[in-house]
Structure formats: C-alpha cells, structure tokens
Structure 1
Amino acid sequence: MKASRSSTRAMLVALAAMAPRHLWLGGMALASLTVLMGMALLGLSGWFIAATALAGLVPATALVFDVFMPSAGIRLLALGRTGARYGERLVTHDATLAVLAALRERLFRSWAPAGAAWQLRLRPARWLQRLTSDVDALDSLYLRLAVPLVSACAAALLAAVVLGAMHAGLGLLLGLWLLLAGMAIAAVLALRARRPALRRVAALERLRTQAVDLVAGQTELLMAGRLPAQCARLAATERSVAQADRQLNRLEARASMAFGMASTLTLVGVLLAVGWLVEQGVLGAPGAALALLVALAAMEPFAALRRGAVEAGRTWLSVQRLAPQVVQAPAAIEIKVTEPPPGCAVRLQQAAAQHRGSPHRALAAVDLQIPAGTQVALIGASGAGKSTLLSLIAGELLAVHGQVLAQPCTWLTQRTELFQDSLRDNLRLAQPGASDVQLWQALEGAGLAADVRALAEGLDTRLGEGGLGLSGGQARRLALARLLLHPAACWLLDEPTEGLDAATARDVLQRLRQQMHGHTVIVATHWRREAETADRLLWVEGGRLLADARRGTTDFDKLLGRLREDAAVVAAPATAKGF
C-alpha cells in the first residue's frame, strides 16, 4: 500500500512537471476569474434592476440616480467573463495537451529498452489500452477535478465575502455550507461511482481484446467452429459496458438532483436570512437581490465537479497503471551499448538469456566470436534459440549472465513492420536524414525502384496500416531497402526469404549478396539457399551452440547437406551430436 501511494505521488509530481507552471496556475486563475465575474455580473445586474425600479418610484431620487457606473460595470463584467472563458479554455487545454503529449513520449521511451518489444507482442491490446484510454483518462485530473475544485472554492469565498459584508455570521455560515455540501456530494459520488467505473474500464479492455481477436482470427475461428461463440462473448462484454454506463449515468443524474436540492436549500436559507435583515432595516431591497443572486450562482461551480467525480475511479486506476512506466522511464531508457575490440563484430562470453515469465533459460552459456566482415548462418530446429541469439546480439534482450559485446546492428526480422505513412517516411525510419537520391539507390538495390516509379505519387504514395497496398514480396523488398539504407555495418537477418515464392526469394538473396561486401552478416535460417554462401555454420539446439563449422571443412558440408532447399526442414537434432 505504501509503495502504491509513493508511486502515485511520484506520478502526480511527474505529471505536474510535464507542463510549465504558468500554464497550470494561469488556467486555474482564469477559470476562477470566469466564475467570479459571472457571479458578480449576476449579482450586480440584480442589484441594478432592483435599485433602478425603486429609484423610479420617487422622481427626486430618479434624477440623481447614477445609471452609468452600474451599466458600465455590467458591460465590463460581461466582456471580461467572455474573454476570461476563452483564455481559460485556451490555457487549460494547452496545458493538458502538452502533458498528454509528453506522457505518450515518456511511455514510448519506457517501452524502448531491451525486452520491452517482447512484452508488446505478448499483450498488444493491454499496451494499446495504456497508450490510448489510460492516457486520455488523465485529462480529468486537471480539467474536471483540479480546475473546477479551485473555481468552486473561489465561488464559495466570494459568496461568503459578499454576504459577510452584510452580516458576518451569515457570510461565514454560507461559506461553510457551500464547501461542506458541495464537497460532500462530490465525494459521495466519487465513492459510489468507483466500482462501476472500474468495471467499465475492465469491460472495455476485454471488448477491445475480443474485437481484435475476432477480426484478426476470424478465419481460424470459422474453421474451428468457434466464430458464433466468439461473437456471443463480444456481445456479452458489450452488454457489460452498457450496464456500467447505465449505472454511471444514474449516479450522475442523482448527483445533479442532489446539487439542485443543495442550491435550492441555499437559496431558501439566504432568502429567509436577507428577509430578516431587510425587516431589521440592515439591508435594502437592492442589497437583498444582490445577496440572493450571488447565493444562487455560488453552488453552480460545485456542480461542475460532477463529471470529474464520476470519472475519478477510472482516473486513479490510470495513474496507478502508468506510474511504473512514467516514474521509472528515465532510468530504464539508459542502455549502454558496449562494442567489441577493433576487427571483431560480435563477442559472447558465457552469455545466457531468459525470457521474462519463463522459468527456463532460452540460451545457456554461449561462447562466440565473429570477426568483422564474416558471413554466419545460424541453423537448427524451430525453437532452438536462433532468434533469441539474434535478439541478444541486437540488444533487444539483455543477458542474465555473461557478457555480450556487439557492433551496432540493423535487424531484418521475420515480420515486415510497415506503417500507415508514405513510402518515403517508411524508408527514412532507417536513416531520417536520407535524401531522395539515397532512397532511390536503396530501392534499386532491393529491386523495388521500378514498382515505385510505376506508382502515380512515387515516394509520396501512402501505405495503409501494416503496409496495405503492397504485395508480400514488395513489402519484403521495402524492408530490404531499409536494411540497405541503414548505416550499421552488422546485419542480422531472421529468415529473410520466409513466405516468398522461389523466384522472389532467389532475387532477394541475390540482391542481398551483392550488397554484403564489407558487412558482417548473421542470418538465422532453415533454408539451404540462405546458408550456402556463409563462411561459418553455427548449429543451435536447446539454447546451446553445438557445432561451429567453417567453410571448406567436412563438418560444414555435412551441416549444409542437412538443410533441404524445398521443404526447409532441418535434419533431426540427434544426427548433429557428432559435431
């Protein structure tokens, strides 16, 4: 509990530091000024109308009654209230949007260290929820809780001062009543809305996950006969969201009624009090109108807390969820990359790796040294640890034991990661400052230049989500162009031709080999066509390096012979025991 409270406090401090202090304070000051000028406008208008009516009853009084100063004050307050409202909206939203932008950047940075990509792959819907719904929920902290709370307190203070000038006891009682009634209603609403708000958040997260599963896996679900069941689950979750929404709407409606009753009680109490003061001769009719209208407007700012109180449970849950990433982000992103001695591309010394949440090590005590400019093929059965070894070299996975020294690498993974953006910007992910000439050279090297020139907008052609608009072969060539564009001298290739037809695969490999000169290349593969030009073959099995065969040796030919060009099946592990 103490750890949770300390992380929450640290989170709030971090959020407060993400926007300049003058924006936070300026927004609250402008919001309070808007409320105060609105109350003053209403009270002055009531006083002026009552005073003008009474002055008109007596001609002598009407002649000397000053209508210019009150009317000028009314106009000033009306214009000032409009300007303050505009400024308040501008400043508070500027502060909020600045914080949300900085928060998203902090979250991206907290997910950048080694191992974070694995977590994103395991639970993408959860992390998407953090980045969208949880971040958006934090705007309630300032816009719907802090700003209305300060404005409400300012309104209570003004009402207490105005009525206190007429009668000290009345002003004190009114101020205390406004604070106690307004805060009590908001607090009770927040407590009662917490449980349905949390249920709604959980149901929305389930709804998003189930919808993604339904859309992405509808073919598999249909083949397994589970599509109707998945649709029924989705509908049931949607009903849960609707039920939580109804509960929250009922609570908000009851809170509106409570604030209305409190406002009515306030008005009745002030009416009786000022009636007594008028009867005692302490107060005139214009002053009574002023007091009544100020009291009438004083409860309205407290009613603005209603929305924030309803969302308070969701907001605090988001604070607790995001606190670990936000508070620990600065320390987490400081990754030190240690390079090997000159002439060496990769050096592993008793390096062991373990995936988070797994009780077993994915790699156990690997010793490996790869000179710069060498071409190495990692071979072995699926799940043997080839991709894990590449992750270790790339720095995406930290060693739990031993030492890993590696040159900066660029990694062509099995999946082609393309984004909903232009071709030019997808390429520039590898080298942000690349010119169009360099982009075209990379496309020529990947064999995609002719296809891009055939497009109406060329490099400005926009891709859909995940590279929609390109075929599988074109997407792979675009990823290859990014590889060629990257300045790193060490290439990591994870089954670079997987999923391509034979002709496209041969062309991609040929272009890779033309560009390999001067680069260290480490390729994880099942295919003989990808391994046959390597200088070394490394046999990986069960997370261990069982064989290291050099070109020109018998062991190299034996290992290469076990890779089948068509079926891409590695020979049974037991046959490799002799190496």
Structure 2
Amino acid sequence: MKRTRPSLGAMLAALAAMAPRRLWLGGMALACLTVLMGMALLGLSGWFIAATGLAGLVPATALVFDVFMPSAGIRLLALGRTAARYGERLVTHDATLAVLAALRERLFRSWAPAGAASQLRLRPARWLQRLTGDVDALDSLYLRLAVPLVSACGAALLAAVVLGAMHWQLGLLLGLWLLLVGTAIAVVLARRARRPALRRAAALERLRSQAVDLVAGQTDLLMAGRLPAQCARLAATEACVAQADRQLNRLEAHATAAYGVVSTLTLVGVLLAVGWLAEQGVIGAPGAALALLVALAAMEPFAALRRGAVEAGRTWLSIQRLAPQVVQAPVADTAVHLPPPGVAAVLEQVSARHQGSPRWALEAVSLQIPAGTQVAVVGASGAGKSTLLSVIAGELPATQGHVAAQPGTWLTQRTELFQDSLRDNLLLACPGASDERLWQALEDAGLASDVRAMPQGLESRLGEGGLGLSGGQARRLALARLLLHPAPCWLLDEPSEGLDAATARDVLACLQRQMKGHTVIVATHLRREAESADRLLWVEGGRLLGDARRGTADFDKLLARLRDDAATPAAHAMAKGF
C-alpha cells in the first residue's frame, strides 16, 4: 500500500500533543505579557517624566501633582516584567525540551521494527542527522516563530489601543501598519533564506557523512592513496556550509536594517501625528511622550521574528523528513509468531530478500527446530547463514512463507558496545539485574577477573564502540550480556570470529557451559563452533541443501570438511554430496 506524506497540520498537531497545553499556552501568554509590560513601562515612564517636568513649572500644580501612583505603577511594571520574563523563559524552554525528548523517543520507536538495524547500519550519518540536527531544528518552530509572533501581535494591539484612545483613526492605522510591514519583512526573509538554509542543511549532512567516512576509514584511504582526496572533499563541503552561513548572515543583517528603517518611519509618522494632535489640543505633552515611546517599542517584537524566519527553511525541511515517523503510527511487526510448545522455530517455505536486492537471500526454506537443541548452520561466506538467523529473529521479514519462533537474543558478528559504563552496557540486556547477577554473568563469561582489576570495576567507562577493551574482552562482555538476557533462544553469528585460537576456545567453552536449557542456533563456517551441535544445516545460495543429525555419517562428513578457514571449494564439494 502506498504511503502518503503527512500534512503540515498533522505534524503540528502531533508536536503539540507531546507537551501539556498549559505549557504551550502559558509560554505564549507569559511572552506576550512580558512585551506588553515592557511597552507599558517605557510609555508610563515617558509620560511620568514629561508630566512631572511640566508640573514643576507651576508651584500650585507641583503641590497637587500625584507622584506616588505613577511611580508605584512603574515599579510594579518593572518587577512584573522581570518576573514574566523569567517565567516565560522557564515555561517555553520546558515545553520545547519536553517535546524534543518525546520526539526522540517516538523516532527511536519508529526505527525499532524489523530491518531497522540494517538500515541504520547502511546510512548511520543520515539517521544520526535525523535524531540530532533535524530534531533540534524544530525548536525554532515554537521558540523563534510562534512565541515571537504572538508577542508581536500583542504589541501591535497595545500600540493600536493606546493611540486609538487619543485618535481612533491613528490607532487603527498604526496597528495595521505594524502587522502588515512587520510580518511582511519576516515572510520575505523566510522566502529568500529558504534556499541557502536548505543548501546548508544538505551540506551539513554531507559533511557529517564524509567526516565519519574519513575517521572510520582513514587506514584504508591511506593505503589506497585516497586520504588527500577525501580531505579535499571534506574541505569543499565545509566551504559550502560556510558560504551558506554567509548568505544567511547577510540576509539577517538586511532584515535587521529593514526593521530599523521601518521603526524609524513609524516613529517619524507617530511624531508628526501626535504633534498635530497636540497642536489641536487633543493631547498634551505627556500624552505625546507616551504615544512616541509606545510606538518606538512596538516594532521590537517583530524584529525578534528574523531569527526564526532565517531558520524557517531548515525547520520546514526537518518537518518533512520527520513527519512520516512522527505522524504515522508504527506498523506492528507480525512477521514472526510463537511456535507450538516444545518447538523453538518453524519455517515453512520461507523466502526472503534484502531491501533493494532483486535476488532471493533465502529461497523456499522449510525446517523445524525443537526447543533445547543445538543447531549449527554451516556453509561458505555469503551462503545465507546470517540471513537465516535474521529471519528467525524477525529482523528480516519473510517475503513468502510462514515463520514462527521463540523470543531470542542475537549475538551478531559485530560486538555492539556503547560509550558508557560497563554496568550500563550490561543492563541493556536485563535492566533490573542486581550487582550480584551482573558479576555472575561476568564470571560465567570469563571476564570477572579483568573487571575486578579495573580501578572503578563495574563503573569503568568505555569509549565509543567499547574503546578501552581488547577484542577478546569486548566479545566476552557481549557474551555476558547474552547470558543476562532471559530469552530462551540464542542466535549466535560466528561467535569466535576474529579472535585468536586460545581466546576463541575459551569463549566457546564459556558458551558451552551455559547452553543448558537454551535453544542455540549458530551460524558458522568454522569447525570449532559447529562440533558441539546436535544438528548441522548446510546452506548454499540461500537454499537449505543438507540437514544432518549427530551420530549419522552425513553429520561426520559435514563436520570433517569444515575447517577454520572454511575454503569455498570444500564448501561446494559438501553441497554436491547431498
């Protein structure tokens, strides 16, 4: 079924629902109140200074002039403006941070269905950009567009009311002038800044991807003689970002100048108007000062829109990118069902292909694995062993056929560790595990003595990707995490790959000691990983070509032909034997 792109209204409604309405409305109300109190403070101060100056010219007037009420009002407005400003910053940022946190959680959940891990691995820089840069860009929607717009409208309304009390036509004209010209500058700025903002966003994403490639592959690039070329590409992309920044800064400077010109024209127009009203005797000098200062302050909230207008293009792009994950509900993953009691996994005529590939990764595979057995899936590299584990785990949905499997935990070829403490890396498998259970898992994995030798023990910090541990230690830590997981089925994808012989034997011995009571399915081309299995499944070209059980001649034949290097010619010879 074709997936339709969510509308802007649906996206805004979804974002608005992520924070309590009182935060949204309260933040806007406090921001508007801050602006209004600032304008009132400035206008009342100007009126009070002019009025007291005129009153002091005549002794009789000076004696009866009330200085206490205006001065009390000025103090009240000054204190109120400070409190409103503090409350506005607190509430608006609280609302924004709450939405961004909820948005990141929803994005994580939308990337959880089958196939998500492989997609993240294919384009890590792109998805990292979605989770960081695109999410952060959405704070402009509320903080730099919605809140300043409400405040600017409130300022235009107050200015219109104050001058309308002196002359209704002047008040109406001023309000319309502020609304039309103030918003027109922001709209023109947003339209002109859209293209460089989009170029900057695309260049930043490209810069991040190229930087990741440079850091991760610098050894290969150096050996291939491509390191200078990659550095040149990175510098060219950075130049594109800098050029877009210069264009955006230039546009923002032009907008600042435009708002300054409009503010000056507004002040001149009001000055001429109140001068005419004073000449006609409609208002006095204090009233004229009040009108001038209110008009002077009325354009300032509109000028605050320029930052949001400059970033509007980037914000709109982020909305388009994130809307499918935010608005549309995640599709329930029903590819894998629970098998009958006593069975770990059942596949019936299952075929599957990887996204974007025209050929079958698995084709017409049928098998049944009883619970509590140990099965080794063997074959040459690229034969479909890992794909079979992906289908059983539910990571790769079956295109055809039926799959039913027990909940499982998957130890992939890559040891996925995070820049965090040892404890938190272990708690990913069992969040409620006690320290005693963590130490027992480390003991079972043969890593407890190494962790005890570390100064901070379980609190020892790992670098990115598990930096700080050797390859064998990282594999043992992943094994300890596997032992902590309560899943009854273990899926092991070449668990000792890349380890030296002694470490590999030790890791496999640890696994063998803990396998009791679990269903274990190992994908391997190494004899040392398959020799303890109860059953061998031979896979070649995505097809199941052999199924041998321990104690049979076929089992011994397959096992005898497996070597540590698992040469491809031998693999083909085994396939022909069936």
Does residue 52 of the first structure (1) align with residue 43 of the second (2)?
no
1:294 aligns with 294
Tell me if 1:63 matches 2:31: no
Give the corresponding residue for 1:471.
Answer: 470
Q: How many Å separate the matches in 1 of 2:72 and 2:476?
A: 73
Q: Is the 8 A contact 1:540 1:546 kept in 2?
A: yes
Given that 2:442 and 2:477 are in contact with CA atoms closer than 8 Å, whether structure 1 keeps it comes out as yes
User: Which is further off, 361-370 or 490-499?
Assistant: 361-370
Aligned to 1:76: 76
1-structure distance, mates of 2:380, 2:346: 23
Conserved? CA contact 1:345–1:406, under 8 Å: yes
Could you tell me whether the CA contact under 8 Å between 1:385 and 1:542 is conserved in 2? yes
Match of 2:426 in 1: 427
1:577, distance to aligned residue in structure 2 (A): 2.4
| Correspondence for 2:131 | 131
The worse-fitting range, judged by mean Cα deviation, of 471-480 and 332-341 is 332-341
> What do residues 176-222 of structure 1 show as CA deviations (whole Å, max 9, x unaligned)?
00001001000000000000000000111111111111111111111
User: What aligned pairs does 1:560-571 form with structure 2 within 5 A after superposition?
Assistant: 560-565=559-564, 567-570=565-568, 571=570
Distance 1:5 1:334, change over 3 A: closer
Structure 2 distance, partners of 1:84, 1:475, is 53
**In structure 2, what is the equivalent of residue 458 of structure 1?**
457
Q: CA deviation at 1:155?
A: 0.2
Task: Confirm or deny: 8 A CA contact 1:44 1:70 kept in the other structure.
Answer: yes
Q: CA deviation at 1:234?
A: 0.6
Matched residue, 2:317: 317
Distance 2:15 2:409 in 1: 35
- 1:243 paired to 2:243: yes
Find the aligned partners of 1:449 and 1:464 in 2 and give their Cα distance: 19
Aligned residue number for residue 490 of structure 1: 489
Question: 1:113, 1:335 within 8 Å by CA — same for their partners in 2?
Answer: no
Conservation of the 8 A alpha-carbon contact between 1:113 and 1:396: yes
Judge conservation of contact 2:32–2:151 (CA < 8 Å) in 1: yes
Partner Cα separation in structure 2 for residue 126 and residue 186 of structure 1 = 30
Shift of 1:520: 0.7
Partner of 2:43: 43
Distance in 2 between residues matched to 1:424 and 1:4, nearest whole Å? 43
Provide the C-alpha distance between the structure 2 equivalents of 1:126 and 1:80, rounded to a whole number of angstroms.
46
Tell me the residue number matched to 1:212: 212
8 Å Cα contact 1:109-1:333 kept in structure 2: no
Contact 2:561/2:574, CA 8 A, preserved across alignment: no
Matches of 1:172 and 1:569 in 2, distance apart? 87
Match of 2:9 in 1: 9
* Structure 1 position 97, deviation (Å): 0.0
Determine the structure 2 residue equivalent to 1:108.
108
Whole-Å separation in 2 of the counterparts to 1:390 and 1:320: 35
Query: Residue 338 of structure 1: CA displacement?
Result: 1.8
Gaps of 5+ in 2: none
Q: Aligned AA for 2:348? A: Q
- What are the superposed Cα offsets for residues 85-104 of structure 1, whole Å, 9 maximum, x if unpaired? 00000000000000000000
Q: 1-side partners of 2:238 and 2:508: how far apart?
A: 49
Rounded Cα–Cα distance in structure 2 between residues aligned with 1:545 and 1:337: 20
Secondary structure of the equivalent of 1:57? coil
Distance of 2:552 and 2:572 partners within structure 1: 20
Identical aligned residues as a percent: 84
CA drift of 1:487 comes to 1.1
User: Deviation digits for residues 233-264 of structure 1, max 9, x if unmatched?
Assistant: 11111111000000000000000000000000
Distance 1:430 1:419, change over 3 A: same
Counterpart in the other structure of 1:440: 439
CA contact (8 A) 1:527 1:569 kept: no
TM-superposed deviation, 1:573: 2.1
Correspondence list, 1:368-407, <5 A:
368-407=367-406
1:418 aligned onto 2:412: no
Tell me the amino acid that sits aligned with residue 174 of structure 1.
L
Partners of 1:184 and 1:335 lie apart in 2 by 51
In structure 1, the residue matched to 2:98 is: 98
Equivalence for 1:170: 170
Q: Secondary structure at 1:355's aligned position in 2?
A: coil
Q: CA deviation at 1:465?
A: 1.2
AA partner of residue 569 (structure 1)? A
SS in 1 for 2:212: helix
Equivalent position amino acid for 1:407 in 2: Q
Partner secondary structure for residue 419 of structure 2: coil
Q: Which residue of 2 aligns with 1:265?
A: 265
**Secondary structure class of the residue paired with 1:332:** coil
Could you list the per-position Cα deviations for residues 152-196 of structure 1 after superposition, in whole angstroms to 9, with x for gaps in the alignment? 000000000000000000000000000010010000000000000
1:341 corresponds to 2:340: yes
Q: Which runs of 5+ in 1 are unaligned?
A: none
Q: Secondary structure in 2 aligned to 1:325?
A: helix
Contact 2:336–2:392 (8 Å) recurs in 1: no
1:354–1:363 CA contact under 8 A, matched in 2: yes
CA distance in 1, matches of 2:292, 2:81: 20
Cα distance in 1 for residues equivalent to 2:546 and 2:574: 12
Partner of 1:29: 29
Distance 1:484 1:248 in 2: 54
Query: What is the CA–CA distance in structure 2 between the aligned matches of 1:264 and 1:471, rounded to whole Å?
Result: 68
Amino acid at match of 2:567: V
Query: 1:340 Cα shift?
Result: 0.5
Name the count of aligned residue pairs: 576
Say whether the 8 Å CA contact 1:271–1:292 is kept in structure 2.
yes
Shift of 1:524: 0.4
The corresponding residue for 2:191 is 191
Specify whether residues 9 and 217 from structure 1 end up closer, same or farther in structure 2 by C-alpha distance, changes over 3 A only. Answer: same
TM-score, normalised on structure 2?
A: 0.98
Task: Output the aligned Cα RMSD.
Answer: 1.3
In structure 2, the residue matched to 1:20 is: 20
